[in-house]
Chains A and B, each alone.
Chain A
Amino acid sequence: MDAVIRAVVLYGFMLVIIRAAGKRTLGEMTNFDFVLLLIISEATQQALMGADDYSITHALLVIGTLVGLDVIVSLVKQRWPLVQKLVEGTPLVLIENGVPIQKHLDHSRIDRADILAAARLAGLERLEQIKYAVLERNGTISIIENSGSYASPSAP
């Protein structure tokens, strides 16, 4: 039973804490983000597995519980769109017709340099060439050129 409880509690906590950290934590991964992810995974692994239980059964229970929770959350999201908003957030326009929406940038902790980096990946040179810059649910920034053609998101 404790394997299941640990997995449920940790899954729920990680969902809340990553969501509270903001979308940019998920999007472009810097060296610091990478190190943070490694440390979080190590801390989570110890709490999930507990002490002195290296049995296959325990590992299978934890994995099964986590996958099961993921399926449940995806089904709930599909059924109730509000849950999807709560869990994943919503897209957010950061730039409209070359004009930054400063409030959205500040709250999302994104600066002009981040937008321009995303724009360069889309083959653009200046902010004025951007019709829309959208912060997607997964933390990436999508750039739509002023010509109206779609430019792919800034992260793979």
Chain B
Amino acid sequence: MASDDGAAPAPASSTTEIDLDQDLPFQYWSWRVQKVIWGLLAFVILLATLGLFGPGPLSHATAGGTEKGLWVEYDRFARFQAPTIMKLHLSRQPNMPTRAQVWISKAFLEAGRLDRISPEPLAVAAESDRQVYTFLLGEPGEHNTVRLFFFPEQTGTIVCRMGLEGEPHLGFTQFVFP
């Protein structure tokens, strides 16, 4: 239908009437990619909840047998400069002295910062490739737990070696996310 001023009739309805950079194939492709990213995000959040990037069921691990004088609870996964707690479980066997000397490799200690030890050791001695911490133990059969508050300061895999004097050492690794 012609307009009142005699101009040509308007063309049939179409998005080509509007000057727009719409790109439907690209848009539909973007939506598919978007859904994939949402799925990945949900999966990562689920893994994070389970402890992939820090404390949690996926990350929790132990080293050493519970029947030994020393066994350790630690997190397989940690984050750069974020605290990770290691629990050293010490058992005083019958006829064992009241003090336990736990050594930790220097390579591990240099990979981060040991911020706090609870309870504090009676003594700390530095050797060429390790540090030795002396702890007071309770009665035989009593359970003693020492908490190490460690802040990794390098990313990637770090190896920890520790042990009780006179016992085979324990070795485990932690992966530190940036």
Q: Please, which residues of chain A bring their CB within 8 A of the CB of B33?
A: 20
Q: Please, which residues of chain A bring their CB within 8 A of the CB of B34?
A: 20, 22
User: Residue-by-residue, is B27-44 near A (CB-CB < 8 Å gives 1, otherwise 0)?
Assistant: 100110110011001000
User: Residue-by-residue, is A17-38 near B (CB-CB < 8 Å gives 1, otherwise 0)?
Assistant: 1001010000000000000000
Residue tally, chain A, CB below 8 Å to B: 18
On chain B, which size bracket covers the interface?
A: 10 to 19
Majority DSSP secondary structure for residues of B touching A? helix
B13 interfacial by beta-carbon distance below 8 Å:
yes
Q: Please, which residues of chain A bring their CB within 8 A of the CB of B22?
A: 90-93
Which chain B residue has the least Cβ–Cβ distance from A6? B178
Majority DSSP secondary structure for residues of A touching B? mixed
The 8 Å CB contact of A51, one of B15, B18, B21, B81, is B81
Please give the distance in Å from B109's CB to the nearest CB on chain A.
Answer: 19
The 8 Å CB contact of A97, one of B13, B23, B31, B41, is B13
Which chain A residue has the least Cβ–Cβ distance from B82? A51
**Interface residues in chain B, defined as those with a beta carbon under 8 Å from any beta carbon in chain A:** 13, 15, 18, 20-23, 26-27, 30-31, 33-34, 37-38, 41, 81
User: Residue-by-residue, is A75-117 near B (CB-CB < 8 Å gives 1, otherwise 0)?
Assistant: 0000000000100011111001100000000010000000000
Distance, CA A96 to CA B37, complexed state (A): 30
Q: A91-B20, A96-B15 are in contact. Are A16 and B27 (CB under 8 A)?
A: no
Q: Please, which residues of chain A bring their CB within 8 A of the CB of B41?
A: 17, 20
User: Residue-by-residue, is A58-81 near B (CB-CB < 8 Å gives 1, otherwise 0)?
Assistant: 000000000000000000000000
Distance, CA A97 to CA B17, complexed state (A): 11
Complex contact B37–A16 (CB within 8 A): yes
Q: A20-B38, A51-B81 are in contact. Are A134 and B30 (CB under 8 A)?
A: no
Please give the distance in Å from A3's CB to the nearest CB on chain B.
Answer: 14
Complex contact B20–A134 (CB within 8 A): yes
Contact sample, A vs B, 22 pairs, CB 8 Å cutoff:
A16-B37, A20-B34, A20-B37, A20-B41, A22-B34, A50-B81, A85-B26, A89-B27, A90-B23, A90-B26, A91-B20, A91-B21, A91-B22, A92-B27, A93-B18, A93-B20, A93-B22, A96-B15, A132-B15, A132-B18, A134-B20, A144-B18
